[in-house]
């Protein structure tokens, strides 16, 4: 009995169960779900697809987790910021022409520019939230509204294409490697972030600022700067995601790149068992959350649900999961049990 309690009270228990349930449904519905085949030296299969497609989401969820932890708010601009970063990177790379066959500048420059743009957007959000003390959702609403407009301004309202094979590698496959590249990028981002948070006291600082910024300041932490840092980092993550998104479709469509990605990222954080009120966080939980969401999406596609109708099921699942995790619901269950005993 005690052992069961120990397992169920484990932080990642619920998120993992959710993921397991989603995968279990797949085993029953589509038995071929877990089969992985090799085509042209590259792995194929639903599972690979889930891991591949969830890469951007994982990267964004990492940034979002820290933002949520430090400020108790969400950054709703990440989707728009990744569109801006993608647009600027292709603009720099192709010199602003709508369809380009050759690089104008070295590839690495465009990546750096994209990351810089993302970080810059993050810094603006961080400035508003940490320094100006504006509620995170409102502060990031500004870039959420303006971001796509700016991206369109950069693209001059067109879809910019980049038809160079090397450009497709970041979102596709590198020759001779069986796994898609975005997976490696996601792993690198998660591992580096994890190491930084665990090996330095930064993770602890972020939690402390999220729980009580005033008290943290009194014990000598620079709350403002730490909060600012998380937003800048979230922007950087959005920039990285932006480069992957553009590389996947070797083009940038300012209207649709990273659309609704911010919502999925926030959901990933919530599904991972993190409180959206800030404070303690689990990076791993968010990663599991991100994979769960993508698994759900892929599952529904495999069950022939159309893309337009997908949100209905997503919404129902999300509400059930969040309701199960809410303390009030647990209290209700406890009261019910007590009544039964009495």
Partner 1 sequence: MFKNKREKIDGNTFLLVITIVLFCIMYLAGMIVFKDRGFIKLQVFLNLFISNAGLIVIATGMTMVLITGGIDISVGSVVAMTCMLLAWMMENKGIGAIPALITVLVVGVIFGFAQGWLISYLKIQPFIVTLAGMFFARGMTAIISTDMISIKNETFLALANAKVYLPFGGTVNKKGVLVQPYVYISVILALIVLVLIFIMLKYTKFGRAIYAVGGNEQSALLMGLNVKKTKILVYVLNGFLTAFGGILFCLNTCAGFVEQAKGFEMEAIAAAVIGGTLLTGGVGNVFGSLFGVLIKGTIETFITFQGTLSSWWTKITIAVLLAFFIILQSILAKAKEKNK
Q: Which spans of this chain sit near partner 1 (rule: CB under 8 A)? A: 74, 128, 132-135, 137-139, 141-146, 148-150, 152-153, 157, 263, 266-267, 270, 276-277, 306, 308-316, 318-319, 322-323, 326-329
263 closest CA partner among 140, 166, 157: 140
Whose Cβ is closer to partner 1: residue 92's or residue 321's? 321
- Closest approach of partner 1 to the CB of residue 64, in Å: 13
Asked if 326 contacts 52 with a C-beta cutoff of 8 angstroms, the reply is no
- Closest approach of partner 1 to the CB of residue 277, in Å: 8
- Closest approach of partner 1 to the CB of residue 306, in Å: 7
Asked if 171 contacts 40 with a C-beta cutoff of 8 angstroms, the reply is no
- Closest approach of partner 1 to the CB of residue 153, in Å: 7
Whose Cβ is closer to partner 1: residue 134's or residue 177's? 134
- Closest approach of partner 1 to the CB of residue 262, in Å: 10
Angstrom distance (rounded) from CA 235 to CA 202: 18
Whose Cβ is closer to partner 1: residue 137's or residue 183's? 137
Whose Cβ is closer to partner 1: residue 130's or residue 241's? 130
Whose Cβ is closer to partner 1: residue 62's or residue 321's? 321
Task: Dig out the tokens for 225 from the structure.
Answer: 């700067």
Whose Cβ is closer to partner 1: residue 35's or residue 326's? 326
- Closest approach of partner 1 to the CB of residue 315, in Å: 4
Asked if 288 contacts 11 with a C-beta cutoff of 8 angstroms, the reply is no
**DSSP H helices in 136-260:** 136-155, 181-199, 202-211, 213-218, 223-248
- Beta strand pairing status for 42-44 and 37-39? antiparallel
Residues 6+ apart with CB under 8 A from 322: 270, 271
- Beta strand pairing status for 160-162 and 99-100? parallel
- Closest approach of partner 1 to the CB of residue 152, in Å: 5
Whose Cβ is closer to partner 1: residue 129's or residue 197's? 129
Order of strands across the sheet with 251-252? 99-100, 160-162, 251-252
230 closest CA partner among 66, 2, 28: 66
């Amino acid at each position: 009995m005690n052992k069961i309690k120990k397992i169920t009270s484990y932080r990642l228990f619920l998120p993992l169960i959710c993921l397991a349930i989603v995968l279990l449904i797949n085993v029953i519905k589509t038995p071929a779900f877990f089969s992985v085949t090799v085509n042209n030296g590259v792995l194929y299969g639903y599972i690979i697809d889930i891991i591949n497609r969830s890469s951007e989401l994982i990267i964004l969820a990492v940034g979002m987790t820290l933002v949520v932890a430090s400020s108790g708010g969400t950054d709703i601009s990440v989707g728009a910021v990744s569109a801006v970063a993608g647009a600027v990177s292709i603009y720099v790379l192709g010199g602003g022409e709508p369809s380009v066959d050759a690089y104008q500048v070295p590839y690495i420059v465009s990546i750096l520019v994209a990351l810089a743009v993302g970080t810059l957007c993050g810094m603006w959000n961080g400035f508003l939230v940490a320094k100006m003390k504006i509620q995170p959702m409102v502060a990031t609403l500004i870039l959420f509204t303006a971001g796509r407009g700016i991206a369109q301004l950069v693209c001059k309202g067109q879809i910019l294409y980049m038809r160079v094979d090397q450009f497709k590698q970041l979102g596709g496959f590198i020759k001779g490697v069986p796994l898609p590249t975005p997976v490696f990028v996601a792993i690198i981002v998660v591992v580096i972030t994890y190491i930084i948070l665990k090996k330095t006291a930064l993770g602890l600082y972020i939690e402390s600022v999220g729980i009580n910024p005033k008290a943290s300041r009194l014990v000598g932490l620079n709350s403002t700067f730490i909060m600012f840092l998380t937003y800048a980092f979230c922007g950087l993550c959005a920039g990285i995601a932006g480069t992957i998104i553009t590389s996947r479709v070797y083009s940038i469509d300012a209207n649709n790149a990273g659309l609704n990605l911010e919502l999925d990222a926030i959901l990933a954080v919530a599904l991972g068992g993190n409180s959206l009120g800030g404070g303690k966080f689990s990076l791993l939980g968010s990663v599991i959350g991100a994979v769960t969401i993508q698994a759900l999406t892929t599952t529904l596609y495999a069950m022939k649900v159309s893309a337009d109708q997908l949100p209905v099921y997503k919404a129902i699942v999300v509400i059930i999961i969040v309701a199960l995790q809410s303390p009030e619901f647990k209290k209700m269950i406890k009261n019910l049990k007590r009544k039964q005993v009495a």
